[in-house]
Structure 1
Amino acid sequence: MTTTGTAAPPLTSHLAGNYHPLPVVLATGEGSWVTDVGGTRYLDLLAGYSALNFGHRHPDLIRAAHEQLDRLTLTSRAFDHDLLEAFANRLAALLDVDLVLPMNTGAEAVETAIKASRKWGYEVKGVPADQATIVVADGNFHGRTTTVVSFSTDDDARRGFGPFTPGFRVVPYGDTAALAAAIDATTVAVLLEPIQGEGGVIIPPAGYLPAARALCDEHDALLVVDEIQSGLGRTGTTLASDLVGVRPDLVTLGKALGGGIVPVSAVVGRRDVLGVLTPGTHGSTFGGNPLACAVALAVVRLLETGEHQARARELGAHLAERLDALVAEGLLASARSVGLWAGIDVDPVHGTGRQLSERLMARRILVKDTHGQTVRLAPPLTITREDLDWALDELTDVLRSTVTG
């Protein structure tokens, strides 16, 4: 399939092939829309896997970045700078947590949470040296570092990367009984996504996260919640764990915290847990750099008003209603949504998730498939209802007109 205005890829590329993107080459972006190198405009319904929660080039975020570029971009953590405490204090107040540990990428945040959990387990809980275990769920996606892929159940993520890091127990996602059975005296933490994004926006039973909280309290273990995709407004609340009233001990953040401008991540949570990381035990040259803090502070200010969370709730309810209608009509096998986030399962009679993504791209709508038959929808929280409805009308038309043999 070709798309008018899209440049053909070079015959010989020096780019490593660790991604299989849709055949579109983007050049500019504004709000919910992007434009390719040939001038064709597309509605972005992926938003950088939630990194662009506030759309492309949100004026408040661009202004903050420009102003900081004229002042100071990096000090390393050998020195403090004038935005570091301000960022930590403002984010801590937004999330009602004790401490903020800034890093760069989501995977770094998860690695940091794992290290802090283990050290807390040895120094505070009293787990014997090198025997700490962490319970995780199948279908998880917490990054692609060697430690993280050690407990992935995605064969593509694991194959060829062993030997794997020990100390993890994998249980079925959403299964409280299995979770309870996996926890013992060596368990220092339970690490979960409140909603599995990469898995296809998989939503667990309503009581699952509260049950995990209760089990961690019972066994003196930490509840670590990965909100890298689900957090910062995506689900209609600041954190997805807010939906079920759960307060984790540690939360990992990333993606939207950098506003789609710079990589920014953080681990936030209890003082007695993050406090075990002392000078020399963990660090990052770029973590909490001035440019990152300037952008992240602007992100926090956007979230403090509650406007974007409210938009995600309002438009999310409309999105759910439209998707449920497609399921009822038999055009989708199933659909799951929370806030402005959805996973739609394509009936094989309509092709694969990749084929649906390509057909929507031909109609100037950008989405991305995952795990074969599933397509994720994660539009910017700033999308208009009119643009959302146009995209859903196009999706409906594509499904009605496409049946594979």
Structure 2
Amino acid sequence: MTSDVPSTVHEPELPEFADPMLLQWLTSLGLGVEYVRGEGNTLFFVDEDGSERAVLDFAGGYGALVLGHNHPDVVAAVRAFLDAGTPTLAQGSRQPAASALAALLNSVVQRELGTKEPYFSVFSNSGAESVEVALKHAEFDRVAKVQVILEEIAGHVVAAADAVRAGDAKVADSARAALGIDAAPDEPGNGTGNGTGNGDGVADGERLVDAVQRENARRSARPPLFLALEGSFHGKLIGSVQLTHNAGYRTPFAALAAPARFVPFDRPEALGEVFEQERGTLLDVVVESGEVRLVERGFPVLGAFVCEAIQGEGGIRALPRGAAREIQRLCADADCPVVVDEIQSGMGRTGAFLASSLVGLRADYYTLAKSLGGGIAKTAVTLIRGSRYRPEFELVHTSTFAKDTFSSTVALRTLEVLEAGDGRAYRLARQWGERLTEVFDELRAAFPDVVKDVRGTGLMLGLEFHDQSGAAVAAIREAARAGTFGYLVSGYLLRAHRIRTFPTASAVNTLRFEPSILLTEGEVQQLEGALRELCTVLREGDGRAFLGP
């Protein structure tokens, strides 16, 4: 097939200052195309003779376009908003659009989970930021719980010290040894001794208070422990990048925040092992039989366990139901909050509003973004379970643009479209997901030497290719060894078939397919034909066809 996809974007008169290196790399792969219009699953570019050409978009804004490009109902809501002259930014006032959106989100989540417990919304501006909100709130909650324990211990220590000062108790030798308190000589003649031969009661009481406070301050200052699954991707901000397993994204910024522990994807029971290893204790005191003794008291050190229902950048890997059940049990036993990242998998893409509901995983925090903005607005939300929610967090976490009227209006209309027709959008996601899976399974059966695996749920699917590092064609072999094979495949599909998709970021032999629910049979057949040609080209080692002129 002769390509009419332009090999470069329109050359600017001035040097490029927006991601110039990335743009140069995309252009070298044949992906640096300027799209001028979008509708449904189709993007349009203008070729060299000025004609508009269509490209079938299966990348779907990395999962942000469950309703496609410029859905008419969402566009109508945008136009009505602008025509009305509604202010976008009126902070410090009532926000009816955000309130209505939060109420509908709560209703949908309660229905999906089969619960009456509320979920409160904290809005933000991007998926990574919604993860940061979850981490911050979880830490805010943990610190508050630790403070309550410290205050209780402080009361016990003061009471014990008073007993020592009054001569009603002495500090046990074991406590002295543990705290490093030296025994003062007894001075019964000066009115300060306790007559026990155990030193100066006043001094001992003060030493006890000081030593316990210092030791507990040291212990309670340890950073929280956040956990995630191997293969995870939760963003690239300071906190969220620590939970992103790909070391290339994480390592340069490891010193900026507390590191996470990663649990093997196929061994969720390892969570229990980590919980046991990382137990935290504080020192408390009891007065028994006239002696002040130390006792250890547990305190929360676990920030949260964070996971995706379907790992997006990790290669479209769905969390098995058994693993979800084990995660739920272990986290509940350890009182470790569960954060489920539904940024890419949520909003109906898998055939349910929350992909995690399909495997029975219930979260304390849900993060949503991408499709929440209807393909037009940039918005995100963190949904917090009522039993975890702390209203005081509203005073310490705010944002200029979060909860703005424009994005809230767009998100509200998007959610209404998804819910319309008794959830027709969810049914379409399931139906088209099954159709695409059928195509991919047939492709794998026909080309078992080329296609390694088919994964995913609904309209969040991955097609994994076998390693091509031993390919006869030098360019394919070198790309595979450099970790860019998937992007080379994407360039081929765009150039030869006008189909747009990309590999997943941390599993680059896996192509993602995340179209909208507006998919048609004709679009499925176009994709099927293109993938069959691709597999034939790879099987036959046809470098000329694969790389183009």
Shorter-chain TM range is: over 0.9
- For the 8 Å contact 1:119–1:276, the answer to whether it is kept is no
* Aligned partner (choices 497, 503, 511) of residue 375 of structure 1: 511
Counterpart check, 1:121 vs 2:142 = yes
| Comparing 158-167 and 140-149, the one that deviates more | 158-167
Q: Say whether 1:200 aligns with 2:315.
A: yes
1:356 aligns with 2:489: yes
Cα offset, 1:7, TM superposition: 6.5
Give 1:47's aligned residue.
60
Report the Cα offset of residue 276 of structure 1: 4.7
Q: Which residue of 2 is the match for residue 68 of structure 1?
A: 81
- Alpha-carbon separation, structure 1, partners of 2:502 and 2:327: 31
Residues 203-212 or 152-161, more deviating: 152-161
2:19 partner letter: A
Correspondence list, 1:394-405, <5 A? 394-402=530-538, 403-404=540-541
Q: Which digits, 9 at most, give the CA deviation of each residue in 1:100-149, with x for residues without a partner?
A: 11111001100000001111112236683554211111211111112222
Aligned to 1:274, the other structure's residue is in SS state coil
Contact kept in structure 2, 1:343 and 1:374, CA below 8 Å: yes
SS in 2 for 1:40: strand
Q: Which amino acid aligns with 1:31?
A: G
Q: Confirm or deny: 8 A CA contact 1:308 1:382 kept in the other structure.
A: no
For 1:21-36, what aligned pairs fall within 5 Å after superposition? 21=26, 22-36=31-45
Identity among equivalent positions (%) equals 30
Give the Cα separation in 1 of the matches to 2:318 and 2:261: 21
Whose helix proportion is higher, 1 or 2? 2
My pick for the range that moved more, 119-128 or 299-308, is 119-128
Give the one of 247, 255, 266 matched to 2:381.
266
| Alignment match of 1:317 (pick from 420, 425, 434) | 434
Secondary structure of the structure 2 residue equivalent to 1:207: helix
Q: In 1, distance between residues paired with 2:458 and 2:138?
A: 30
The answer (yes or no) to whether the contact 1:116–1:277 under 8 Å persists in 2 is: no
Indicate the SS of the match to 2:388. Answer: helix
Residues 215-294 of structure 1: pairs in structure 2 closer than 5 A: 215-294=330-409
Shift in Å at residue 261 of structure 1?
Answer: 0.4
Change (3 A) 1:213 1:18: farther
Corresponding position of 1:106 = 127
1:236–1:312 CA contact under 8 A, matched in 2 = yes
SS at match of 1:298: helix
Distance 1:312 1:181 in 2: 38
Deviation digits for residues 247-276 of structure 1 (CA, Å, limit 9, x no counterpart): 211100000000110111000131242325
Tell me the distance in 1 between the aligned counterparts of 2:405 and 2:412.
Answer: 10
Residue 130 to residue 298, structure 1, CA distance change in 2 (3 Å):
farther
CA distance in 2, matches of 1:162, 1:225: 23
Distance across 2 between alignment mates of 1:365 and 1:136: 34
| Cα distance, 1:76 vs structure 2 | 4.6
Cα separation, 2, equivalents of 1:92 and 1:112: 18
Tell me, yes or no, if structure 1 residue 181 matches structure 2 residue 315: no
Amino acid at match of 2:393: T
Contact 1:149 1:158 in 2 (8 A): yes
Report how far residue 396 of structure 1 moved.
1.2
Residue 232 of structure 2: aligned partner: 140
Distance 1:334 1:52 in 2: 25
* SS at structure 2 position matched to 1:280: helix
SS at the partner of 2:318? coil
More divergent stretch after superposition (391-400 vs 223-232): 391-400
Distance 1:138 1:5, change over 3 A: closer
**Which residue in the other structure is 1:342 paired with?**
461
Q: Say whether the 8 Å CA contact 1:140–1:153 is kept in structure 2.
A: yes
Post-superposition offset of 1:343:
1.2
Partner of 1:295: 410
Q: Deviations over 1:181-227 (max 9, x none)?
A: 12244213111111110111012332112211111111111111000
Query: How far apart are 1:179 and its partner, in Å?
Result: 1.8
Amino acid aligned to 1:193: E
CA contact (8 A) 2:319 2:359 kept: no
SS of 1:337's equivalent? Answer: strand
* Residue identity in the other structure for 1:152: T
Distance 1:18 1:203 in 2: 33
1:249–1:269 Cα contact (<8 Å) kept? yes
| Aligned counterparts of 2:326 and 2:91: Cα–Cα separation in 1 | 39
Taking structure 1 as the reference length, the TM-score comes to 0.93
Residue 27 of structure 1, CA deviation: 0.7
Distance in 2 between the 1:309 and 1:392 partners?
23
Shift of 1:92: 1.0
Larger deviation, residues 160-169 vs 362-371 = 160-169
Q: 1:28 to 1:7 in 2, by over 3 A?
A: farther
The residue aligned with 1:16 is 19
Question: Cα offset for 1:241?
Answer: 0.7
Shift of the 177–245 alpha-carbon distance from structure 1 to 2, 3 Å rule, reads: closer
CA displacement, residues 127-172 of structure 1 (integer Å, 9 cap, x when unaligned):
8355421111121111111222223332331343342311522222
2:424 paired residue number = 307
* Residue identity in the other structure for 2:428: R
TM-score by length of 2: 0.70
Select the structure of larger CA radius of gyration.
Answer: 2
In structure 2, C-alpha distance between the alignment counterparts of 1:179 and 1:392, rounded to whole Å: 41
Alignment CA distance shift 1:397-1:167 (3 Å): closer
Q: Which moved more, 1:13-22 or 1:82-91?
A: 13-22
Judge which range, 91-100 or 359-368, deviates more: 91-100
Cα distance in structure 1, aligned partners of 2:333 and 2:487:
44
Match of 2:201 in 1: none
Could you tell me whether the CA contact under 8 Å between 1:116 and 1:276 is conserved in 2?
no
- 1:333 counterpart = 2:466: no
- Does residue 169 of structure 1 match 2:261? yes
How well do the aligned residues superpose, as a CA RMSD in angstroms?
Answer: 2.2
**Aligned equivalents of 1:245 and 1:346: distance in 2?**
30
Whether the 8 Å contact between 1:252 and 1:265 is mirrored in structure 2 is: yes
